[in-house]
Structure 1
Amino acid sequence: MSFDWLNAPCAQPDAALAEAARAHQLQLTKPPGSLGMLETLAIQLASLQRTPRPSADRVWISVFAGDHGVADEGVSAFPQAVTGEMVRNFASGGAAISVLARSLGASLEVVNLGTVNDPGEIAGVRRAIIAPSTANFCVEPAMTEAQLQAALAAGAESVRLAQAANAQLFLGGEMGIANTTSAAALASILLHEPPSSLAGAGTGLDPAGVLHKVTVLERALARHAQATRALEPLRCLGGFEIAALVGAYIAAAQAGLPVLVDGFITTTAALAAVAIQPEVRAWLLFAHRSKEHGHSRLLRALDAEPLLDLGMRLGEASGAASAVPLLRLACALHAGMATFEQAGVSTA
């Protein structure tokens, strides 16, 4: 196992199909641009999917779960056992993303990368165990090189499975107590900004809890201040599930599979993926603006305009799943509306 595959070139969006889709939109029975982002979504998907009739019917959702050593610092309102318990809940169909996936007719894959409270073998859960949790990054790097390689590869494997299922759209989700702390640390070092501008309430910290979280992050960033090159920020401050998302996003871009990015944690993974492979950015659509403090800053850094702003902050890919119907509507309008000529409608 190595990191070499990360450097393989990404697929290129089809500029000619984007232009053809744009020209088609101008012929539809509406004022130009009057459907706003629904028009640009259809154009973007036509380019990414390399087809004049884009579709979001076949959706693949991978939820990556992993525990974090930094939970030892008391940065979460929930106990660490919840991660393993939620893996079981995902698989049994009781979690929000489970309900959303069923409603969308989407394929839902749950990947256990390592939990302190290991639920064991569960039908519907792919075990890709790396360790019970990352290390406490206030004390040492979160991952070894081998662990980082394994996490990245687990994400790439999910994309391979999505391709085998002929998916048209990839959604990544995450579960891991204390992972907003890890994401804030990673975002802080990637953006060269203080953790106070990125750390939020996570699962429900009160103001004192957020202040404590910032203090923990400041300690961690002081320890890993030199971890600025290549994969070092991800290795030193990331989580197994965050690294898996990074691997998935890079693999999806290499494979030419469009990605719908969820909230704060997945957008941090997207930022890390783009830092490693800038061409990944073209393959990313952004579902929603999370209520989690710091997400808007990440979106600005990626020049991203999200589709929804519903005050969500659950994770699990729930925000991304909630935006899928908009993509489907954009595709339906692109394919189903009459042109001015077909409808006999005057253009002037």
Structure 2
Amino acid sequence: MKQQFNIEKPNDDIRSYLQEKIDNLTKPKGSLGTLEELAMQIGWAQQTLSPELKNPCHIVFAGDHGIAAEGVSPSPQEVTYQMIANFWNGGAGINFLSRQHGFNLKIVDAGVNYDFKETDPIINKKIRKSTRNYLHEAAMTQEEMELAIQRGVECVQACYDEGCNVIGFGEMGITNTSSSSLWMTYLTGITLDKCIGAGCDHTGSIINHKYNVLKKSMENYKGDQSLEDIVRYFGGYEMVMAVGAMLKAAELKMIILVDGFIMTNCMLVASKMNENVLHYAIFGHQGDEAGHKLLLEYLKAKPILNLGLRLGEGTGALCAYPIIDSSVRMINEMNSFKEIKVTKYF
């Protein structure tokens, strides 16, 4: 891959000072649990005893998938662009959460099978109108994959230039759980049957057909099974853009909010490209998609929430944001035993 990322592992020297500050806040040692863990991670990533979250942004990457022609989702492909209009009108799940938590929401056309107008309120990063059908051929070319990585980088750089240091990612693309399941099985070794789930099919009636189509796609694949080949052969443009975005965010030392099954698979790919990206990642929730729990365990990730969510769009990541914000407020706003006359009670 042409694009290279210089992602540094944060210096460990500050960790003992962070721990001392956290332990000396006016509370029993360890009594704020996950808040203390998050404060440690964010302070370590930012290399400061007084971490901060500034100008939060959330990017939803949208793209269509050629595999939709095989009926692996009960939803027709036009739902992708119809939902984008819902985003514009402020009526989707990610809209109310962005408003609630003060996120600047950006919608990106990575490869939607629709001709948007120049005046439409969308960031145009379109690679192509839908990927190809990987039952028969690679979803994208090497050049398209590299372009998607680069355009994901551009989206994050724009947020960073606006003063953002905490960023969430979401997606919109009918059948992208299928592509995610294939990434997962190839890159983790977990069998396909454990990686697939119902996606937006709440009845689960389509899972057997979905499994058969994906299994046949794997049988038809004749590539070298390298990381890049798996990513380009089975990926979606919106997914690859998210991978590039995550890697760039980590390079810029931004805090990355990871959403559900699809975005966790994007983080899986990013971590295979550069493992240091995980130091900057906070996993918002464990979703209701079958493989998500296994994938989180593979990454040794500890999700903040488990609310039975499976919407996507980045909704689970933003639901967790108040807890992340609380961890930063804890380390910055609580008094220490040195500052007030309270006897240590632990």
Q: Which runs of 5+ in 2 are unaligned?
A: none
Aligned to 1:97: 94
Residue 218 of structure 1, aligned match among 195, 215, 218: 215
CA RMSD of aligned residues (A): 1.4
The answer to whether residue 301 in structure 2 is matched with residue 294 in structure 1 is: no
Deviations along 1:71-108, whole A, 9 cap, x unmatched? 00101121100111112221221211112111111111
Task: Give the letter aligned to residue 5 of structure 1.
Answer: Q
Task: Give the letter aligned to residue 31 of structure 2.
Answer: S
The answer to whether residue 8 in structure 2 is matched with residue 4 in structure 1 is: no
The answer to whether residue 17 in structure 2 is matched with residue 25 in structure 1 is: no
The TM-score with structure 1 as length reference comes to 0.95
1:114-129 correspondence runs (5 A): 114-129=111-126
The answer to whether residue 243 in structure 2 is matched with residue 272 in structure 1 is: no
The answer to whether residue 311 in structure 2 is matched with residue 303 in structure 1 is: no
Deviations along 1:6-62, whole A, 9 cap, x unmatched? 3x3203323233322211011111111111110010111111122221123421111
1:1-348 correspondence runs (5 A): 3-6=1-4, 8-204=5-201, 206-224=203-221, 226-347=223-344
Please give the secondary structure, in 1, of the residue aligned with 2:270: helix
Task: State the alpha-carbon separation in 1 of the partners of residues 189 and 9 from structure 2.
Answer: 30
- How many residue pairs match? The answer is 345
Task: State the alpha-carbon separation in 2 of the partners of residues 122 and 12 from structure 1.
Answer: 42
Deviations along 1:226-271, whole A, 9 cap, x unmatched? 4421311110001001101111111111121121100000000100
Task: State the alpha-carbon separation in 2 of the partners of residues 327 and 194 from structure 1.
Answer: 33
Please give the secondary structure, in 2, of the residue aligned with 1:131: coil
Task: State the alpha-carbon separation in 1 of the partners of residues 286 and 22 from structure 2.
Answer: 27
Q: Which runs of 5+ in 1 are unaligned?
A: none
Relative distance call for 1:122 and 1:298 in structure 2 (3 A) is farther
Q: Relative to structure 2, which stretch is displaced further, 199-208 or 289-298? A: 199-208
Task: Give the letter aligned to residue 243 of structure 1.
Answer: V
Residue 225 of structure 1: how far off its partner (Å): 5.7
Relative distance call for 1:343 and 1:331 in structure 2 (3 A) is same
Deviations along 1:156-204, whole A, 9 cap, x unmatched? 1111011101112111100000000110011111112221101001011
2:187–2:227 Cα contact (<8 Å) kept: no
1:83–1:117 Cα contact (<8 Å) kept: no
1:48–1:283 Cα contact (<8 Å) kept: yes
Q: Relative to structure 2, which stretch is displaced further, 201-210 or 93-102? A: 201-210
Task: State the alpha-carbon separation in 1 of the partners of residues 118 and 198 from structure 2.
Answer: 32
Relative distance call for 1:227 and 1:316 in structure 2 (3 A) is farther
Task: State the alpha-carbon separation in 2 of the partners of residues 107 and 121 from structure 1.
Answer: 21
Residue 341 of structure 1: how far off its partner (Å): 2.4
1:152–1:243 Cα contact (<8 Å) kept: yes
Please give the secondary structure, in 1, of the residue aligned with 2:169: strand
Relative distance call for 1:205 and 1:323 in structure 2 (3 A) is closer
Q: Relative to structure 2, which stretch is displaced further, 55-64 or 20-29? A: 55-64
Task: State the alpha-carbon separation in 2 of the partners of residues 127 and 160 from structure 1.
Answer: 15
Relative distance call for 1:188 and 1:225 in structure 2 (3 A) is farther
Task: State the alpha-carbon separation in 1 of the partners of residues 60 and 34 from structure 2.
Answer: 27
- Identity of counterpart residues, as a percentage? 34
Deviations along 1:271-309, whole A, 9 cap, x unmatched? 011111122121111000000110011101110000000
